Each structure stands twice: as C-alpha cells, then as structure tokens.
Structure 1
Amino acid sequence: MRRPGLMLYGILCYFFFNIAFLYMAGFLLGVAVPKAINDGVPSDLPASLAINALLVFLFGFFHSLMARQWFKDRWTKLIPVEAERSTYVLQAAAFLSLLMLFWQPMPFAIWSVDGIWALLVYAVFGIGLVTVLLSTFLIDHWELFGLRQIRASAIGAPAPRPVFKTPMLYRLVRHPMQLGVILVFFATPVMTAGHLFFAVTMSVYVLIGLHFEERSLVREFGATYRDYQTRVPMLVPNPFRLLQRRVRPA
C-alpha cells in the first residue's frame, strides 16, 4: 500500500466510523434516520432475541478480538503496522452498521415519558454524546482513530508511544468515554423491550471489554496504573471523594 493510499485509507476509516456513530445516535432516538431501533415489522420474540443477540455478539467478539495484543502481532504481518488502528476502527464501524441494519424491533414499551421528563432524558443523551467526544480529545483523538500513526509513517517519524495521563474527566472516572456510551444507550424517553435489550447487552459488552482493557493498562503502565485504580473509580464518580478534594486544606 502506497503512503498516499494509506493516508486515504485512514481518513476513510475515520469518516466511516463517525458516520456510523452519528447514525447510532439517530437510530436510538428514532430521529433523522431511515431505520431506527423500533422500526420494522416485529417477528416472533424468540427469533428477534436470537437475531439481536447474535448481532451484539458479532460486534463484541470482533471488537474485543482485534484489541488483543496477540491478535495485533499476527494481524500486522498481513497489513501495515501503521494501518492496524484504522482497520480496527473500520471493523467497529462495519459491525455497528451491520447491527443497526439487521436489528429486529421489539416494540413493547417499558417506559415512556414526555414533557419536562423527556427534555431531561434528551439532556442526559446529549451529555453522554459530549462526554464521549470530549474524552477522545482529552487523551489523543487522532491516535485513538489511527490517523496519527499513519501520518507519522507518511513523514517518516517514529510511531507515537503510549503516554499515561489523566486530564479533566479522567480524574473523575477511569473510563469517561465508556460512561458516556452507556448514558447514550439508556437515555431515551420511550424505552421499548428492543431498546432495553440493546442497552443492556451492549453495556454488558462494555463492562467485559473494560475488564480486558484494565488488564492491558496494568501490563503497560504497571504500578502507575494500579495506583490510579485505587484513587479513581472505573465508571461512577464518587461524590464523597470529590467533596473531600474540594474541602481539603491548602
């Protein structure tokens, strides 16, 4: 793969993922997309559960598999090392798109709110989206999506090395990006059985993924990350610890 072609590949992967993620926002809210989570003709419940479970499994399996170091070591014998992250982003977008395309509606309502409560739910959804986006830029947005690695290769610079840092939201929870994603999954004014199944199963996958990610971070950063684990919760901010920081004498 020529370097200009590699750069184009990285940019296309980046845009494909962002389009898929933005589509997911509309998919979950049922806004401005041709197919939302509750659209379509419902089939029998066991078939819908089986198909939806398979779709979530496929997304989670490949998303987790390609994040493992042993897989990366083998995979990068087939593709350029600098394209590994972009390819990971591409597969995430592809399987997320596949999930939304073939998702089976289960429209039985679990809850439904309107008025001020609906506005509050939309606000939580927006907070989740902003948290996800902000979290990527607080660490390294371009490295996370593979563009920094490709650019470094294109200009003959060394590949960026991982740096441990805990800016802003990362001082409140260790994984604000995943917290934002979970908020997006659950924040809807009309929660159907299908939407709840999506939110729960995808959140379970997030928690499983975090288990493996935490192990990888401990291997990579050692005692520094273990100390971080003792001081900062994984997903849910600790209000008492925040209060203690605020009242701590100078």
Structure 2
Amino acid sequence: MPDFFSDYVIPTAIFLAFALMHSITASHAFKTKLFELSPKFKVWYRVLYNLISILLIAFWWITLPQDQILYQLSGLLFFLFLTLQLFFVYLFLKSIFAQNGMVFLGIKQILLNLREGQLPKYLDEPRRGKLVTSGLYRYMRHPMYTFAMLVLICSPIMTSNLLYSIIIFGLYFWIGSYFEEKNLIKRFGESYVQYQKNVPRFIPRLRIQK
C-alpha cells in the first residue's frame, strides 16, 4: 500500500502548481491585463489554456506512484456502478455544452477569427453571454464539478491513486469554485449574487426554490 505522506508528495506539488496556474490564468484581472498587451491573443487563449491544463494533468498523472487495488466490485454491483459512471459522464458532458461547449473549448473563437477576422468581444469569448440557470444549472451552480466527482467515486474498481484523485480534486473543486464565482460576479453582477442565494453550489436541495 502506498504511503500517502511520502509517495504523493511530488504529484501533490505538481497538482498545486496546476491549480495555481489554472486559477490565476482564468481570473478576470489576469486576462484583462494580458489582452491589453496583445488583443489578438484573445483568439487562441482559451484553446491554449485548455491544452496547457491537459498537459499539466497528464504530467501529474504519470508521476503518481505504483497503483494498488483497494477494492473491486463484482457481478451485478460492478455493472450497476459502471452504468452509473457512464450516466454521470453523460451529465458531465451535458453540463459543459449547456454553457456553449464550442466556446468553452475555444474552437468557436478560432473559427470566427478565421472566417470573419473577428476578435472575441468579451475577454476570450465571442460575447459576454447570459447567465445559464436552466437545466442542470437550475439545481446546482457547478454541475461539471459535481458529476466529475461522481464519475470518480462510482468507479467499480477503487485504487489508491483513484482515492487520492478523489480527495485532491474534491479539494480543488471546493476551493477553486470560490475564486471562479468571484469572476462570475464580476461578469454577471447582481444576477449571479441572487443565483448564489437560490441555488446550492454542488449538491441539489430536495426542494428547489423557484
């Protein structure tokens, strides 16, 4: 069994570097200053941001220690948890594309620039857009984070590295969402403040306020 206090020191340091980079470069203030220096960088920013994030996560993953199985479900329970995983993957993807997935990935920004020579009008996005409060966002403010965690938790095979990932991603989503919402308040103002009051961050209420 890996020792969580020694074998995971390097991966944790790398993950903290990723989390710091991810939060700083996503901030309203950072992007505003950067685009003042180079407005044309708006077009490629979101794609590069996503690619660098993926590379850092991949680097983090390969530094994890040798994995060991903690438990493995079998029979009906195995297929039940696997089905739940697939269902939560679907909801995770649905929550991404509810926020305009092509913009989220940065593809639309590049296409608009190549076709029309258009620069993003709101930081690294084509326009400011509107606050999405329908669908999954009616029940929780961060469904992407909720369903990403459920995908990990519902694995029918739990390993030491997966357990570590659940812990560290859970902490990151909890802390990171706080800073993310500060940017969203700057973007949407009082509308987002009211949304915060009416809708929980991660776990839906049994009774939804209208």
Task: Tell me the TM-score normalised to structure 2 length.
Answer: 0.85
C-alpha spacing 1:158/1:91, structure 2 compared with 1 (3 Å): closer
Q: Look up the equivalent residue of 2:109 and give its one-letter code.
A: Q
Contact 1:122 1:187 (8 Å CA) reproduced: yes
Matched, 1:218 2:179: no
Contact 1:121 1:188 (8 Å CA) reproduced: yes
Task: Quote the sequence identity (%).
Answer: 25
Counterpart in the other structure of 1:133: 93
Instruction: Look up the SS of the partner of 1:103 in the other structure.
Output: coil
C-alpha spacing 1:227/1:46, structure 2 compared with 1 (3 Å): closer
Distance 1:185 1:68 in 2: 27
Counterpart in the other structure of 2:104: 144
Per-residue deviation, 1:209? 1.1
Counterpart in the other structure of 2:123: none
String of CA shifts for 1:56-107, please: whole Å, max 9, x gaps.
2232222222112232234443671211111111111111111222221342
Counterpart in the other structure of 1:49: 8
Give the number of the structure with larger relative contact order, counting CA–CA contacts within 8 Å between residues 6 or more apart.
2
Contact 1:173 1:234 (8 Å CA) reproduced: yes
Matched, 1:102 2:63: yes
Contact 1:107 1:192 (8 Å CA) reproduced: yes
Q: Look up the equivalent residue of 1:70 and give its one-letter code.
A: A
Per-residue deviation, 1:229? 1.2
Counterpart in the other structure of 2:128: 162
Contact 1:179 1:235 (8 Å CA) reproduced: yes
Contact 1:59 1:95 (8 Å CA) reproduced: yes
Contact 1:86 1:147 (8 Å CA) reproduced: yes
Over the aligned positions, Cα root-mean-square deviation in angstroms equals: 2.2
Per-residue deviation, 1:45? 5.4
String of CA shifts for 1:189-246, please: whole Å, max 9, x gaps.
222332211111111111111011111111211111111112111111112227xx7x
Per-residue deviation, 1:152? 2.2
Per-residue deviation, 1:168? 1.0
Per-residue deviation, 1:150? 1.6
Instruction: Look up the SS of the partner of 2:90 in the other structure.
Output: helix
Q: Between 81-90 and 151-160, report the one with greater CA deviation.
A: 151-160
Distance 1:106 1:114 in 2: 20
Task: Tell me the TM-score normalised to structure 1 length.
Answer: 0.73
Distance 1:120 1:171 in 2: 27
Distance 2:67 2:91 in 1: 29
Alignment coverage as a number of residue pairs: 201
Contact 2:19 2:172 (8 Å CA) reproduced: yes
Instruction: Look up the SS of the partner of 2:158 in the other structure.
Output: strand
Matched, 1:93 2:54: yes
Contact 2:8 2:64 (8 Å CA) reproduced: no
Contact 1:51 1:104 (8 Å CA) reproduced: no
Counterpart in the other structure of 1:228: 195
> 1:1-250 to 2 correspondence within 5 Å?
46-76=5-35, 77=37, 80-107=41-68, 109=70, 111-154=71-114, 155-157=116-118, 159=120, 160-163=126-129, 164-241=131-208
Q: Look up the equivalent residue of 2:41 and give its one-letter code.
A: P
Q: Look up the equivalent residue of 2:60 and give its one-letter code.
A: L
C-alpha spacing 1:43/1:230, structure 2 compared with 1 (3 Å): closer
Instruction: Look up the SS of the partner of 1:139 in the other structure.
Output: coil
